[in-house]
């Protein structure tokens, strides 16, 4: 019998009741169970004589039960088991609350080992709810490094440890997906040894080595999957879009600003990619306000000059609308035709004589006739650039000759949706038989080097790590509650000077959207009534419809409001150069990278701008974390700090990726990622389909089902 891949219910002593409970933590087979790793260890390895116990220490003792009783407290209606354990040196109490079965097992005369924290009261030292086991048993829960597991209702670490021990007593044949020569070269244990080390370590070194082995295994499969995606993409062909150097130079010379060196370098990389017959798959990773849009515009310009079409996808209608407005302005002196196609809007621009105009200045409501008319124009090539949400990849949208797809704010789409988008782009109705479009993805979340290596390995990378020269660094201050009025006074002075202000409230969970609406509305009323009665305040929150959000933003941009009270919907997509102050309430509730995104809503002109982080948290950790924003305006530095503090899972939203915790914990290990990539390249060179490595190929298939790569 193949025990490793057997159903968990086929193991003796695992009843149907526990089979159902284990499903809650995604354990269905013995291999799932063995790969349910501890998240920490309690060190109960050092046995201490009772007369050497010290209050506050974590200790393991061994002795004999000298007294045992079960007491019911009438006041709290609680059952308390109280025992005395004695060894050659002395005696100590142990108490368990609401665990009456303990008194049935720990009867007078029984030998016992117990471990836990030593506490002290008026009657001397005692243990409260300690781990215990009969001293006749092999140490599992005491007297060793004891693994602590993620639990669920009805499932304890103690039960998991006992079952692990039982499984290891069976004849386990565990197939190892990593070739033995690689393990030997890297001094890593084979899989069976690593599993024993991780569940029943004899020392800290053992479980650390096992963690490293499984992190390498996970990262190797990530790199193999990534390289295979890249190889498959590179087998595709696309149209060649010639580099229009003169046109590009004339266009950049007409801009009211000078490109930064980083923009020039990134533009050149992208424009040269478009010349190839292998489709571009590039990530443009830039800081807030570093100027990604102009690079997208240059790529679009070169594509239209070759008479091909472009599709630009944004995660929200609001952002799509902003891109539409920006592109119309950038190309107002050209013959480029641009369309906005979302669920709420159907608009196109046109060039008539030398006047620029939007054919329909109203926000056109959804209608089948208007949609059909626009789809016909797109299909016949009358539209050069189509801007919208990911609805652009719907089956009823056909292009005449789509050669470039740009996905903006890719990180906002979510991990699994990103993977879906890339697959869909390969099958998009681009009107070019046998070809797929070039793909440019853009994100305003600066991603640290280790994460780009580990998680974006199938993409070429262009960095925008330089800000436009006319931008002043945003002055950022942490503000305790006692200084709130000073900030309000500063806001009044800024508004008096003709500037505008954002006030942001924390992001809440989807299930709390109504609470968010209520909180934002109440705060808007309070600020309007009590704090800024002489000023005009707008309100923006997640429950507004897209057109309502857009109207609020437009009114703010047009200075109808002095202050915009908003929830986290402003993180992406609002560009108001006149706004010079942003106040972020409960700043400690946000990640550093998200705070940096908020801060990027100001400082978008030559005006000096300010960011006030309001927090009532006095913890050293909170002050240290927020202090990173006071020290620097550099998004990549902040991203590195955020990665260290929050870990990769939270930083990039990778929890939804299915990537195992043990791999995420090591995503900051540059050396591990470099080695895993190097080994992945060697393996694919030796066997492109991994036919030589059937176990690794099987592991890769299993991994691909659970993990969503870019």
E-strand ranges in 54-191 read 58-73, 78-86, 91-97, 111-121, 124-128, 131-134, 145-148
* CA nearest to 265, candidates 50, 465, 520, 36: 465
Q: Is 123 helix (H, G, I), strand (E, B) or coil?
A: coil
Q: Is 151 helix (H, G, I), strand (E, B) or coil?
A: coil
Per run of 10 residues, the mean pLDDT along the chain (length 710 residues) is 83 89 90 90 84 88 91 79 91 89 87 90 90 82 83 87 90 90 96 94 92 91 86 88 93 91 94 94 84 94 95 85 89 92 68 34 55 89 91 83 86 49 72 89 78 76 82 91 94 96 72 60 89 94 79 89 85 77 90 85 89 86 84 83 69 53 68 90 93 91 62
φ/ψ of 33, rounded to 5, equals: -65, -45
* CA nearest to 655, candidates 672, 640, 667, 671: 667
Residue-range domains of the chain with CATH? 46-143 (2.40.50.140), 245-275+290-443 (3.40.50.300), 475-632 (3.40.50.300)
On whether the CB atoms of residues 363 and 547 are closer than 8 A, the answer is: yes
> What distance in Å separates the CA atoms of residue 475 and residue 492, rounded to the nearest whole number?
17
E-strand ranges in 603-700 read 610-614
pLDDT of residue 352: 36
The structure's pTM equals 0.72
> What distance in Å separates the CA atoms of residue 366 and residue 340, rounded to the nearest whole number?
12
> What distance in Å separates the CA atoms of residue 275 and residue 671, rounded to the nearest whole number?
34
On whether the CB atoms of residues 508 and 515 are closer than 8 A, the answer is: yes
pLDDT of residue 403: 94
pLDDT of residue 511: 45
For residue 159 the two structure tokens come to: 């039960």
Helix locations, 170-316, DSSP H: 180-185, 191-199, 204-235, 245-254, 261-273, 292-305
On whether the CB atoms of residues 553 and 318 are closer than 8 A, the answer is: yes
Q: What is the DSSP letter of 498?
A: T
> What distance in Å separates the CA atoms of residue 332 and residue 664, rounded to the nearest whole number?
47
User: Which run of H or E residues covers position 283?
Assistant: strand 281-286
On whether the CB atoms of residues 409 and 314 are closer than 8 A, the answer is: yes
pLDDT of residue 652: 56
> What distance in Å separates the CA atoms of residue 655 and residue 658, rounded to the nearest whole number?
6
> What distance in Å separates the CA atoms of residue 83 and residue 113, rounded to the nearest whole number?
13
pLDDT of residue 560: 95
* CA nearest to 331, candidates 362, 361, 363, 297: 297
> What distance in Å separates the CA atoms of residue 191 and residue 169, rounded to the nearest whole number?
16
pLDDT of residue 344: 67
> What distance in Å separates the CA atoms of residue 580 and residue 474, rounded to the nearest whole number?
9
> What distance in Å separates the CA atoms of residue 99 and residue 103, rounded to the nearest whole number?
8
How are beta strands 58-73 and 111-121 bridged, if at all? antiparallel
């Amino acid at each position: 019998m193949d025990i490793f891949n057997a159903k968990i219910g086929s193991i003796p002593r695992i009843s149907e009741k526990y089979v159902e409970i284990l499903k809650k933590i995604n354990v269905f087979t013995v291999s799932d169970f063995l790969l349910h790793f501890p998240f920490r260890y309690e060190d109960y390895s050092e046995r201490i004589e009772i007369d050497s116990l010290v209050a506050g220490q974590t200790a393991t003792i061994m002795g004999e039960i000298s007294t045992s009783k079960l007491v019911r407290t009438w006041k709290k209606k609680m059952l308390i088991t109280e025992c005395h354990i004695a060894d050659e040196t002395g005696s100590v109490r142990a108490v368990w609350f609401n665990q009456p079965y303990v008194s049935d097992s720990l009867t007078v005369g029984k030998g016992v080992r117990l471990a836990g924290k030593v506490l002290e009261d008026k009657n001397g030292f005692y243990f409260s709810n300690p781990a215990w086991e009969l001293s006749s048993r092999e140490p599992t829960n005491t007297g060793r490094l004891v693994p602590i597991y993620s639990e669920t209702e009805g499932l304890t670490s103690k039960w998991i440890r006992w079952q692990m021990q039982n499984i290891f007593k069976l004849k386990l044949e565990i197939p190892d997906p990593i070739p033995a020569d690689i393990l030997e070269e890297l001094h890593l244990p084979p899989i069976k040894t690593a599993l024993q080390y991780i569940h029943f370590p004899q020392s800290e070194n053992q479980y650390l080595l096992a963690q490293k082995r499984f992190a390498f295994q996970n990262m190797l499969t990530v790199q193999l999957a990534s390289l295979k995606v890249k190889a498959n993409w590179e087998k595709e062909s696309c149209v060649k879009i010639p580099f229009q150097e003169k046109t590009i130079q004339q266009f950049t010379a007409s801009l009211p600003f000078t490109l930064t060196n980083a923009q020039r370098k990134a533009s050149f990389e992208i424009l040269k990619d478009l010349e190839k017959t292998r489709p571009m798959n590039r990530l443009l990773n830039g800081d807030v306000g570093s100027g990604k849009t102009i690079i997208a515009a240059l790529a679009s310009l070169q594509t239209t000059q070759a008479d091909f079409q472009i599709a630009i996808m944004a995660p929200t209608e609001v952002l799509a609308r902003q891109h539409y407005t920006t592109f119309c302005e950038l190309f107002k002196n050209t013959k480029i035709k641009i369309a906005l196609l979302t669920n709420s809007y159907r608009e196109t621009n046109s060039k008539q004589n030398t006047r620029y105009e939007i054919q329909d200045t109203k926000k056109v409501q959804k209608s089948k006739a208007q949609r059909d008319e626009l789809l016909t124009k797109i299909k016949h090539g009358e539209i050069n650039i189509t801007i919208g949400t990911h609805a652009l990849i719907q089956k009823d949208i056909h292009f005449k000759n789509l050669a470039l797809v740009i996905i903006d704010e890719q990180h906002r789409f979510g991990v699994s949706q990103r993977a879906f988008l890339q697959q869909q782009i390969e099958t998009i109705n681009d009107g070019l038989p046998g070809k797929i479009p070039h793909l440019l993805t853009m994100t305003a979340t600066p991603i640290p080097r280790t994460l780009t290596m580990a998680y974006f390995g199938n993409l070429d990378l262009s960095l925008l790590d330089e800000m436009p020269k006319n931008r002043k660094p945003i002055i950022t201050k942490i503000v305790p509650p006692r200084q709130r009025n000073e900030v309000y006074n500063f806001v009044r002075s800024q508004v008096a000077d003709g500037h505008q202000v954002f006030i942001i409230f924390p992001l809440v969970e989807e299930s709390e959207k109504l609470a968010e609406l209520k909180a934002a509305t109440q705060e808007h009323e309070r600020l309007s009534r009590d704090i800024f009665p002489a000023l005009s305040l707008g309100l923006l929150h997640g429950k507004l419809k897209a057109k309502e959000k857009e109207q609020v933003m437009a009114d703010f941009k047009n200075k109808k409001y002095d202050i915009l009270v908003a929830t986290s919907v402003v993180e992406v997509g609002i560009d108001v150069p006149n706004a010079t102050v942003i106040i972020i309430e409960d700043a400690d509730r946000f990640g550093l990278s998200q705070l940096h995104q908020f801060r990027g809503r100001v400082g978008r002109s030559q005006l000096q701008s300010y960011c006030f982080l309001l927090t009532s948290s006095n913890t050293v950790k909170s002050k240290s974390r927020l202090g990173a924003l006071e020290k620097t305006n550099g998004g990549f530095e902040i991203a590195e700090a955020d990665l260290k503090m929050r870990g990769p899972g939270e930083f990039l939203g990778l929890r939804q990726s299915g990537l195992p915790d043990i791999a995420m914990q090591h995503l900051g290990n540059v050396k591990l990622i470099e080695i895993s990539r190097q080994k992945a390249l060697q393996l694919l060179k030796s066997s492109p389909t991994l036919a030589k490595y059937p176990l690794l190929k099987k592991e890769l298939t299993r991994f691909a089902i659970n993990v969503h790569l870019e």
